[in-house]
Amino acid sequence: MKRSSLNAVIIGTGMIANVHFRSLQAAGVNVLGLVDANPTRAAEIAEQWGVQVFDDLDQALASEQVDVVHVCTPNIFHFEMAKKALNANKHVICEKPLATKLEDALELQALAAEKNCVTGVPFVYRYHPMVREARARIQSGEIGLLHLIHGSYLQDWLLDQSDNNWRVDPKQGGASRAFADIGSHWCDLMEWVTGERFTDLTSHFHTAQKERSTNATETFSDKAGATEESNERAAVTTEDIANLLLITDKNTPATLTVSQVSAGRKNRLWFEIDGSNNSVEFDQENPEKLWVSTREARTMLVRDPTQGSAEQKRLSLTPAGHAQGYSHCFDAFMRDFYDTILGGNPQGLPTFDDGARAAKLIDAALTSTREKRWISID
């Protein structure tokens, strides 16, 4: 069998649904159709994609042609839809967070194991070749014993009061916003790259914009939220900023700053891992480079499919100097997911186990913020 023999259905038509569709095309997977709660929007996007529209998820799941369901909806629907798909014995890719409640995420993790379905959560920053290079150098012992993990994930798309989105509403996005949405990416990446797991954390959440326009803004859109005709405001309870201190199972300290209101930062996931021999530093907005430093010098490594670790070479799709970025990460994730269905065993595929892990960290951060104390993580 080939990837082209597998049929996918996408639930949702927003920004991330379009990312999934493009990567499915790049992977050579057939997109059979889509589901969306807005029939007009569904018809419009289906025409663009050249696919059919299913009336609802139940109709899609009833089709024997459907092999994989992609859940690309607001967070509140993730649990219900992923659970239905697994119970229908479909493979599932679900956007993070896997669920808005920890117990629901754990239920999905258990159900995926019971059904023996292939699952995926798009923690796609794992797929930057230079991230793989950093991981390989840590695994080889070149970095030495880890002394410190530190970094940030900064955006500015919710900087102004006129910016709003369904993610801001806890009824649709969940009790945590900035940390659940993007901080979870950083935590997943650090646990995977270092091989160490966070065991304890203390956190502080801050809401910079106490009120926002009631008009919605599309994710990363240039469309302003408020207009002259509508300047109504609604109170905001989810965080714009999160600061965390964490400890790993090897007693390595870590610090993280997350923000969706940092002007000029479009999608800056940054980390530095400092070891007893040297350090590695990565910036997602400049993903072709990895800084490796000693006391004597800083060396900039540039992605090159003829150099470095096997995984850097595997994921380097273009020659050195021909930039790769986020979309290539998503493409690689999609290829690995569908190759796993076909019997492959690629390295680093994030599954519902990783989605449930992220849910534990989110729940711990919410509890720590609320109770103002350190929280242990299972």
Looking at the structure, do residues 177 and 299 belong to the same domain, yes or no? yes
Q: pTM to 2 decimals?
A: 0.94
The CA distances from residue 156 to 58, 162, 240, in Å, are: 38, 13, 10
Domain hosting 178: range is 127-323+351-376
The DSSP call for residue 95 is: P
The DSSP call for residue 120 is: E
> What pLDDT is recorded for position 32?
97
Which residue among 124, 143, 174 closes a domain?
124
Looking at the structure, do residues 224 and 300 belong to the same domain, yes or no? yes
Strand, helix or coil for residue 68: strand
Looking at the structure, do residues 237 and 355 belong to the same domain, yes or no? yes
What residues have CB less than 8 Å from 294, skipping those under 6 apart? 277, 278
Is residue 225 over pLDDT 70?
Answer: no
Q: What is the CATH number of the domain that holds 271?
A: 3.30.360.10
Q: What is the CATH number of the domain that holds 30?
A: 3.40.50.720
Looking at the chain, the whole-number percentage of residues with pLDDT higher than 90 is: 94
> What pLDDT is recorded for position 216?
72
Looking at the structure, do residues 210 and 62 belong to the same domain, yes or no? no
DSSP bridge partners of 291: 281, 300
pLDDT tens digits for range 184-208:
999 999 999 999 999 999 999 999 9
Strand, helix or coil for residue 254: strand
The domain tally of the chain equals 2
Strand, helix or coil for residue 119: strand
Looking at the chain, the whole-number percentage of residues with pLDDT higher than 70 is: 96
Looking at the structure, do residues 101 and 8 belong to the same domain, yes or no? yes
Looking at the structure, do residues 23 and 120 belong to the same domain, yes or no? yes
Which residue among 103, 124, 145 closes a domain?
124
Say if strands 253-259 and 241-248 run parallel, antiparallel, or are unpaired.
Answer: antiparallel
Q: How confident is the model at residue 227 (pLDDT cuts 50, 70, 90)?
A: very low
> What pLDDT is recorded for position 76?
97
> What pLDDT is recorded for position 226?
42
Which residue among 124, 153, 186 closes a domain?
124
Q: How confident is the model at residue 221 (pLDDT cuts 50, 70, 90)?
A: low
